[in-house]
Amino acid sequence: MRSFKNILVTGGAGFIGSHVVRRLTNKYPETNIVNLDLLTYAGNLENISDIEHSENYAFVKGNICDRDLLINLFKKHNFDAVVHLAAESHVDRSIANPGAFLETNILGTAALLEVAKAHWIHENGAFKNAETGSTNHNLKNVFYHISTDEVYGSLGEEGLFSETTSYDPRSPYSASKASSDHIARAYHHTYGMPIVISNCSNNYGANQFPEKLIPLMIKNICDQKSLPVYGQGLNVRDWLYVEDHANAIDLILHQGASGSTYNIGGLNEWSNIDLVKYLIQVVDEKLQRPKGSSDGLITFVKDRAGHDHRYAIDASKIERELGWKPSETFEVGLEKTVTWYLENSEWLNKVVSGEYEKYYEQHYGK
């Protein structure tokens, strides 16, 4: 099992990143955690306000494409590990503006890899013997690149994505993530750089920006607004509770084999329409409305361009090698999620209005 003195987490103010940063900060008090986040629309420091004064935690606002910033951060903190979560991540936004996804997800990942490689080689020597090609397996560094199951494309009615499934991305978002996966692997094979990669299914839980399906539907059910569902709602997704994902990331970071890929899934497939109808029942009941009374809000809209039919993850490798499997049932996890959004309506309204930017100004200046 690896141990680290200084970890850089990119995108740690976002949905998944905030849960990872909190877990690492609280679980490893002897490890310094630096959170680098540009605070675009989906990044919100209120997500991690409970740890902002922790002695082993620091926040830096910045762009992963800024190589000078990255070089200075590595010099200052001498990171021995990187957990790379920063990414543009919404398919609809990638269709409307693919350039931003190519820049952040591909060029940003490449910049981070190159700076980490140069720093670690300077500090510790080459990862690979140039003459023999043998890799130095005693290095304590690790670059952990976190990706998505969308790189695999679309499944039919049967089958699961495994770590050996061929890539077949269908959107600018998934294509940009597939490219960044390949670049990370290339740094491992070419330079011997210690890389681990994970590809996860759809996450849900607290602090998710309400453009994604579950928080959007919860908010609209509460507000009695239209519940837009693509096509006939028959697209199927595998849902993973974000705390289970953070646990898996922790395990892979500390125990995952260098050069390996791990698929992380919730073993929990739902069609979009069935999920929306179930959410209606849960939210209606919590708001003391007749269960199902919001069904009439469902509105079928034109399907997304290139909409993948089904995603489903085979997570047997991470269970077999690292002992991980999801601990939260979907029913309990979804109820916790709904409860969180209902109890944090102020957070939700701030995020929607953009007022969370004031939080950064108040705590860190403009």
Q: Catalytic residues, which ones?
A: 149-150, 173
Radius of gyration of the chain (CA): 20
- Phi/psi for 244 (5° steps) reads -65, -40
- Picking from 273, 280, 261, the residue whose alpha carbon sits closest to that of residue 321 is 261
Cα distance between residue 279 and residue 281, in whole Å: 5
- Picking from 49, 112, 119, 28, the residue whose alpha carbon sits closest to that of residue 77 is 119
Cα distance between residue 318 and residue 262, in whole Å: 6
Query: What is the b/e burial string over 145-156, where b = at least 16 CB atoms within 10 angstroms of the residue's CB?
Result: bbbbbbbbbbbe
Cα distance between residue 143 and residue 10, in whole Å: 11
- The helix (run of H) or strand (run of E) holding residue 43 is none
Who's near 16: CB < 8 A, 6+ residues apart? 85, 146, 203, 242, 245, 246
- Picking from 209, 199, 187, the residue whose alpha carbon sits closest to that of residue 40 is 209
DSSP state letters, 294-317 = TGGGEEEEPPPTT---B--B--HH
Query: What is the b/e burial string over 46-81, where b = at least 16 CB atoms within 10 angstroms of the residue's CB?
Result: bbbeebeeeebbebbbbbbbbeebbeebbeebebbb
Q: Tell me which DSSP letter residue 127 carries.
A: S
- Half-sphere exposure (Cβ direction) of 212: Cα atoms closer than 13 Å: 21
